[in-house]
Structure 1
Amino acid sequence: MSHLSSTPFLSLAGAALLLVGLTACDSGAPPETSTGNLPPAPVPHEITLVAGCNSCHGINGVGNKPDVPFIAGQHATYLESAMRAYLIGDRQHKVMRAAVFDLEVSQRRQLAEHFAQLNSAWTSKANQTPRTSERDKKRDIRAGQVLSRPCAGCHGKDGNSNKEGVPSLAGLQPAYFIPALKSYLQGKRRGAAIMKNFKLSLSQRDIKQLAAFFAVQKRQRSPLGKHLNANDASDALAHRCLGCHGSNGNSTHPAIPSLAGQNATYLIKAMQKYRDKKRQNKMMVDAAQGLTDESIRRNAIYFATRTPITPANRNTMQNGTTRFNPMADGAQLAASCNGCHGDKGNSNTAGIPRLAGLPEDYLQIAITHYRDNKRQHAIMQLLTRYLSDTDTEKLALYYASQTPTRRTPASRIKKTGTGTKLANTCAGCHGKDGNSQKGDTPSLAGQDADYIVAALHAYKNDTRQHDAMKNAVLALDKKAMRALGNYYSRLTPKKSAVHVMEAPEILAQKCDRCHGKNGDKPDADKPRIAGQRQPYLIKALLAYRNKERQNSMMHNMVAELSLVEIEAIAAYYSGQTR
């Protein structure tokens, strides 16, 4: 490449703006400048123009900021067009626009040619797996092991209890262990007075470290003891528990404990306390009401004799790529929901909504609103608290794909003309037959009548926020709400259309047309994406999907992609090599 021309450079003020502006190129703060694969030192008149870029993209065009793209070796035509896009607003980025605002056309070309000629490898500290968090985790486990020594006398070595009535701590999830331990220390859980002795000796950090240690210990089945017999195990009540506590009592939810292999006498005492309302957990108190001591005993033996297992990693790696099976992931997530919402989302409990077959977009909205406290429901907030945006998409996909059934036979529901008349005002959004054609609006056909009534009350009382629904229910009294609930519960539900998520290998066939095979041989005006940083690729694809970047072809490519697919395709190309 020829040296940068001697065309008059920026004014001193303009140069200063470039230096300051480019420091935040596609990020918030400048990273450390990389020292590997250094290119030849630039001649003096190049330094002013490229120095601002180096602070983010590195002197070798790779830098160390995870959401800032590698630009070394990209086609000059592409780099020049990208700078122009920031200038004219086709790419929305205030700092980048300010950085290129005063550049002449020739200067943008010079910058593009400078970085295009760099041959730096697309690797950096930012591309490696972060080690700090792993080191912190190991440190917490070691510290927790030391702190656990006083616990061993009751809870057993490594947290596996051999004492009747004392729970095993091995394998308990931190999100459950930490609040449970705090409840004992604060006296909110009774029956273990000795636990109060540790109230002043355990700091918040100590509790976190204890949780880290016990979480990685392998649980062994606790002995039943002298007064219990494995032959008395009964799964008659297990269906009430498996929906939350997982298959055979092996929970997949971060805040719900596994019951498999747990100390049977402890399980008996715990369930009796929930039944007698001496432990405060509404979901568990409701589940335990009416249970006899004998049924509790048999249920406890059943779970105590199950084999404890470690939940499989959802993102197992195969051939260097992330396993892509959003439906299976959704089914696994749904295991924590089935206890209330029924097998495959078909609820058999009055007041609990059917999820099967509901519109996918609506399910995502509803789950997100519970997670973000926009819908007030303590149990739902607990269960959704740990869901990521991609978890929410997978869960919505799973339930939307299930075949809905009507819980109550139409012949058993009182038929009223009032409900039919009232439903005429609902049909515009929820469908004439109660089956919505709008992705963000739920179907009501075949839905539980008690749930519909409760939802209408929630909209009227502002515990659910929705302006259109608020206006729709203002004039409804209890009788009208019941008539609507009964009317819709009689109708036949239909499954909504779902978005079929495609594997990254399939999506890549379309991308490779412009970006080259495996994203490595792009057209001159397209970027190389093989080996590009995953966070940057996700950010760029979302910007195209949200039309924050203007490119009609890219808009068409990503318009219907879910976040699950975007993250998968970004991971796919990030893992490709040159």
Structure 2
Amino acid sequence: MRVIALSILVAFLLLGCGDKKPSKQLTANPAAGKKIAEQSCVGCHGLDGKGATDDIPNLAAQLQEYLVAAIQAYKEGKREHAALKDMANKLSEADALNVATYYANLPPLKGEQKPMQDIAEKGKAAAAVCASCHGEGGNSTTPGIPNLAGQQPVYFISAVKAYMDGAREMSSKEKQGMLAALNQVDVEAMALYFASQTPGKRAAPALGNVAAGEPLSANCGGCHGANGNSSDPKVPTLASQDPQYLVGAINAYQERSRKQEDMHTFLSNISTEGIANIAAYYSVQQAEPAEAKTISMKELAEKCDHCHGPGMDNPMMIFPKIRGQNKGYLVKALRAYRDNKRGSSPMHKMSLPYSEAVIESIAARYASQPPH
């Protein structure tokens, strides 16, 4: 949660953090704006301001200042869209104000408000398919099956991808089918769910020698952290892990069936006995959850509402209304900022961790709310 909350707050400032409102005062003419809309905008946005598809934004009742700023952004190339850039370049400053005023004066659309699933709920639901092997909450009690509870989320995502891509071998066609049914959002939501679960404590295993394994773990600690508790989202936690699984994983690196050059180097001279001792040592170390608690989109959205909520108006900045906006458009806009395809301030250029799951859930939350 430590990085996510800040990044999501930053990400939603992006949905329309603009420059100061223009100082030059023009008189808006909504009737003239309607004529421009009939000529140039109706095909995508309609005369009622409704996006023709889910990934085209609704313009009805949007802030006038935001629409003017968006047109200017297309003119300046801060937003990438060839057709809109050409269209924007044909509009004078007065034209832009007029068409923006026309759409801003329209009543909010009364579309169907679809129910949304919080990312925590989505992750828990997706993770249910894993419970038969990996245990409730990702705490495995089956020898040779890894713990998922408390695991670093980016590592989890990369490991699942390795199985999907065939870089890691799966033990059964049933597991292949389970993974094939998951999309990127499911995998990321699962990663966040498992990262917040508390790993159970393990008794000393029958294999290996815990005391002898500690000095052998010195090189491992450089990446995997003190006592096997990784602080790097890309590097797996080894603490509380199933010892037989660890032995199998180390053997796979030694045999190079798992590809990671540093691991090949560090493990090349470790004996069979040494491997068992390292596995025994890490299995009894107490792991901590990678994330302090399950992520709540409600909590993150409350931060976004400081700028995008009803009644919020900062005279120095321009923040669009996003409640009731098309979900597909919100997803597309967030991806564009994340991928630096929309011009923005340096804060907006911060990338989102666990991007697809977080973007999807936040977009769904705002799309499900009534417009204002």
- What TM-score, normalized to structure 1? 0.50
Listed as ranges, the matches of 1:475-490 within 5 Å are 475-476=269-270, 478-490=272-284
Aligned counterparts of 1:350 and 1:420: Cα–Cα separation in 2: 22
Aligned residue number for residue 52 of structure 2: 64
- Over 3 Å counting, the alpha-carbon distance change for 1:404 and 1:507 in structure 2 is closer
Aligned residue number for residue 383 of structure 1: 178
Aligned counterparts of 2:303 and 2:210: Cα–Cα separation in 1: 53
Q: Deviations over 1:37-89 (max 9, x none)?
A: xx95x3xxx59xx7454443345543412211122443343223223334445
Aligned counterparts of 2:165 and 2:97: Cα–Cα separation in 1: 44
1:491 paired residue among 285, 304, 312: 285
Uncovered stretches (5+) of structure 2, i.e. residues with no partner: 1-27
Aligned counterparts of 1:354 and 1:449: Cα–Cα separation in 2: 10
CA shift for structure 1 position 533: 0.7
Q: Deviations over 1:339-366 (max 9, x none)?
A: 2223332222221111222223322332
2:154 paired residue among 345, 358, 361: 361
- Over 3 Å counting, the alpha-carbon distance change for 1:402 and 1:4 in structure 2 is closer
Counterpart amino acid of residue 56 in structure 1: C
Q: Which moved more, 1:528-537 or 1:363-372?
A: 363-372
CA shift for structure 1 position 450: 2.0
Q: Deviations over 1:173-192 (max 9, x none)?
A: xxxxxxxxxxxxxxxxxxxx
Q: Deviations over 1:103-151 (max 9, x none)?
A: 27x6255134214313556659xx76xxxxxxxxxxxxxxxxxxxxxxx
Does residue 348 in structure 1 map to residue 336 in structure 2? Answer: no
Aligned counterparts of 2:108 and 2:347: Cα–Cα separation in 1: 24
Higher relative contact order (CA 8 A, sep 6+): 2
- Over 3 Å counting, the alpha-carbon distance change for 1:442 and 1:561 in structure 2 is closer
Aligned residue number for residue 11 of structure 2: none
Aligned residue number for residue 75 of structure 1: 63
Aligned residue number for residue 251 of structure 2: 457
Aligned counterparts of 1:76 and 1:362: Cα–Cα separation in 2: 44
Aligned counterparts of 2:300 and 2:287: Cα–Cα separation in 1: 33
- Over 3 Å counting, the alpha-carbon distance change for 1:437 and 1:554 in structure 2 is closer
Counterpart amino acid of residue 334 in structure 2: L
Aligned to 1:425, the other structure's residue is in SS state helix
Aligned counterparts of 1:89 and 1:357: Cα–Cα separation in 2: 43
Aligned residue number for residue 313 of structure 1: none
- Over 3 Å counting, the alpha-carbon distance change for 1:404 and 1:72 in structure 2 is closer
Cα pair 1:62 1:72 within 8 Å, conserved: yes
Aligned counterparts of 2:94 and 2:264: Cα–Cα separation in 1: 57
Q: Which moved more, 1:544-553 or 1:532-541?
A: 544-553
Aligned residue number for residue 395 of structure 1: 190
Does residue 437 in structure 1 map to residue 231 in structure 2? Answer: yes
Q: Deviations over 1:519-574 (max 9, x none)?
A: 8x897833222321111112223333454434449739995686445434323332
Counterpart amino acid of residue 325 in structure 2: Q
Cα pair 1:360 1:396 within 8 Å, conserved: yes
Listed as ranges, the matches of 1:241-390 within 5 Å are 321-324=115-118, 326-379=119-172, 380-390=175-185
Uncovered stretches (5+) of structure 1, i.e. residues with no partner: 6-38, 129-318
Counterpart amino acid of residue 385 in structure 1: A
Aligned residue number for residue 85 of structure 1: 73
- The list of structure 1 runs, each at least 4 consecutive aligned residues, that deviate by more than 6 angstroms after superposition, is 521-524
Counterpart amino acid of residue 456 in structure 1: I
Give the aligned length: 340
Aligned residue number for residue 199 of structure 2: 404
CA shift for structure 1 position 431: 1.0
Higher alpha-carbon Rg: 1
CA shift for structure 1 position 430: 0.2
Cα pair 1:444 1:488 within 8 Å, conserved: yes
Aligned residue number for residue 23 of structure 2: none
2:98 paired residue among 113, 135, 139: 113
Aligned to 2:241, the other structure's residue is in SS state coil
What percentage of aligned pairs have identical amino acids?
32
- Over 3 Å counting, the alpha-carbon distance change for 1:69 and 1:474 in structure 2 is farther
CA shift for structure 1 position 393: 3.3
- What TM-score, normalized to structure 2? 0.73
- Over 3 Å counting, the alpha-carbon distance change for 1:557 and 1:370 in structure 2 is same
Aligned counterparts of 1:561 and 1:553: Cα–Cα separation in 2: 20
Cα pair 2:50 2:58 within 8 Å, conserved: yes
CA shift for structure 1 position 434: 1.3
Counterpart amino acid of residue 99 in structure 2: H
- Over 3 Å counting, the alpha-carbon distance change for 1:557 and 1:529 in structure 2 is farther
Counterpart amino acid of residue 86 in structure 2: A
Does residue 541 in structure 1 map to residue 334 in structure 2? Answer: yes
Aligned counterparts of 1:2 and 1:486: Cα–Cα separation in 2: 76
Q: Deviations over 1:390-409 (max 9, x none)?
A: 33233233322332234441
Aligned counterparts of 1:81 and 1:548: Cα–Cα separation in 2: 16
Does residue 99 in structure 1 map to residue 86 in structure 2? Answer: yes
CA RMSD of aligned residues (A): 3.9
